[in-house]
Amino acid sequence: MNMNKKSNFVKMAMLLGLFSTLGPFTIDMYLPAFPEIVEQLDSSASLVQFSLTACLLGLGIGQLVMGSLSDVHGRRTPLLISMAFYVISSLACAFAPNIALLIIFRFIQGVAASAGIVISRAIVRDLFSGHELTKFFSLLVLVGNLGPLVAPVAGSGVLSVTSYIGVFISLALLGIYLWAMTKWSLKETLPSDRRSPSNFGQQLRNYGSLLQDRQFVGYMLAQGIMIAGVFAYVSGTPFIYQNIYGVSPTVFALLFGSNGVSLIIGSQIVGRMSHRISERTLLLFGLCLALLASVTVVVVTLVEGPLFTLVIPLFVFVASIGITSTAAFPLAMESQANMAGSAAALLGVIPFLLGAVVAPLVGIAGEDTAVPLGIIILATSLAAILAYFLLVRRGGRDTSRDLKGKAFEQVHEA
C-alpha cells in the first residue's frame, strides 16, 4: 500500500469511525448530568433513566430503517438528512421544557444517530471486500471503541463549565461537523445500478432473505450473543466492583475504562493476523477464549476470589468480544454487496435486542453477589459457540482465506 493510498485509508477510517462513535457519545455524554436533569425538569430518576431507554430504542429501531433506506437511496442522502435531524433533535433536547418532551426528543436523536452507525458500516462493505474489508473494519473498530472511553469524560468536562444544556449543544455541534463532512468530504459509494428498488415490500423481502441465509444468521448470532455479554458486564460491574469489592468511583472508572482498551486489543489482533489466519479461524479462537474466560469468572464468583482474579478474566472476556465482532462482521457482510445496508442493520440491532434481555438478569439475585454475571457470560459464550457450529460450520468450507480484498477508486476520492 503506497503512502497516498494509506493516507486515504486512514482518513476514511477516521471519518467513518467518528460516525460509529455517535452512538456512544449520544448515550454516555449526558449520564453524569442525570441528577441535574431530575432537579431542573422537576422529574424523577426513573423518568430520566427512561430517556436513556428511549434513546436506546431509537438506536436499535433506527438501524433497521436507516439500513434499508441507504440500500434504496444511496449512502450520502440518508446520512445528510439524518445528521440534520440529529442536530435539530439535540437542540430540542437541550431546551426541552419537561421530561416527557425530553424522552420524545431522545428517541428521535437515537434514530438519527443510528444512521451514522449502520451506514458507516455499509460504506465499508461498498468500498472493500475480503481481507481488505477485515483490515479496514478492525481500524474502524479501533476508532469507534474510543467513543465509550472519551464520551463520559467529555460529558463531565462540559458539565464542569456549564449545565446539561451544554452537553446537548455539544452533541448538536458534533452533528453539524458530521453533516459538513458528509456534504463535502464523503463521496457516494453505492452506484445507482446496485441499489434496491424503492419498495417497502422488497425491503421486507431483503430482511427475509438475509434471515434465510444460514451462514449470515450464524455470524450474526455469534456476534450479537457475544456483544450481549458486554451488556451484562456493563450492567453488573458497577455494583460488583463498588458494592462487593468496595472500590472507589475513581478506581471503578479505571477498571470500567479498561474494557475499551481490551476491545481495541481484540480488534487489532484480527486486523493484524487476518492476512495470515482466516477470519473464521480467528472467530473460533475468540469464541473459545470467551468460553475459557467466562468459566474462570464463574469459578471466581462462586469462591468469592479477590478482585484481581475477577478483573483479569473479565478483561480477557471483553477482549475476546473485540476478536469475535471484528472477525464476524466481514464474514457476514462478504456476500451481501447488494444488501449491505440491510445486513449491517441486522448486525447492529441484534446486540441491542439481546442486550436488553440479558442486562436486567445480572441483578436477579441482588446487589451482593457476582454469580449471576458469571453464569450469564458463560451462557452467552456457550450460545455463541453453539450458533457458530450449528449454522456456520455446517454451511460449507472456510473460503475466507481465498477472498481477494480490493478497494474501489472511491476511497481515493473520499
Q: Look up residue 191 and give its three cell numbers.
A: 452506484
Q: Look up residue 253 and give its three cell numbers.
A: 472508572
The pTM for the full model equals: 0.73
Q: Look up residue 377 and give its three cell numbers.
A: 457470560
Q: Give the integer Cα–Cα distance in Å for 198 and 190.
A: 15
Q: What is the pLDDT of residue 399?
A: 44
Q: Where are the domains of the chain?
A: 10-191, 201-403
Q: Which long-range contacts (CB under 8 A, 24 or more apart) does 361-370 make?
A: 361/232, 362/232, 362/235, 362/236, 363/235, 363/236, 363/239, 367/239, 367/243, 367/244, 368/243, 368/244, 369/244, 369/301, 370/236, 370/240, 370/244, 370/301, 370/310
* Cβ contact 344:78 at 8 Å: no
* Cβ contact 215:396 at 8 Å: yes
Q: What is the pLDDT of residue 411?
A: 41
pLDDT in single tens digits along all 414 residues of the chain:
555 666 677 778 788 888 988 888 898 788 778 778 889 999 887 788 788 778 888 888 898 889 888 998 999 999 999 999 999 999 999 999 999 999 999 999 999 999 998 999 899 888 888 778 887 887 777 777 677 667 767 887 888 888 999 999 999 999 999 999 999 989 899 998 888 887 777 778 888 889 898 999 999 999 999 988 887 887 677 778 878 898 876 677 678 777 778 888 988 898 888 788 888 999 999 999 999 999 999 999 999 999 999 999 999 999 999 899 889 988 898 877 678 888 888 888 888 778 767 766 777 776 678 898 899 999 999 999 999 999 987 655 444 443 444 433 444 444
First to last CA, the chain: 17
**Was domain 201-403 assigned CATH 3.40.50.2000?**
no
Q: What is the pLDDT of residue 197?
A: 80
Tell me if 10-191 shares its fold with 201-403: yes
- DSSP code of residue 145: T
Fold of 10-191: Growth Hormone; Chain: A; (1.20.1250)
Q: What is the pLDDT of residue 80?
A: 96
How many CA atoms lie within 13 Å of 4's alpha carbon, on the beta-carbon side? 5
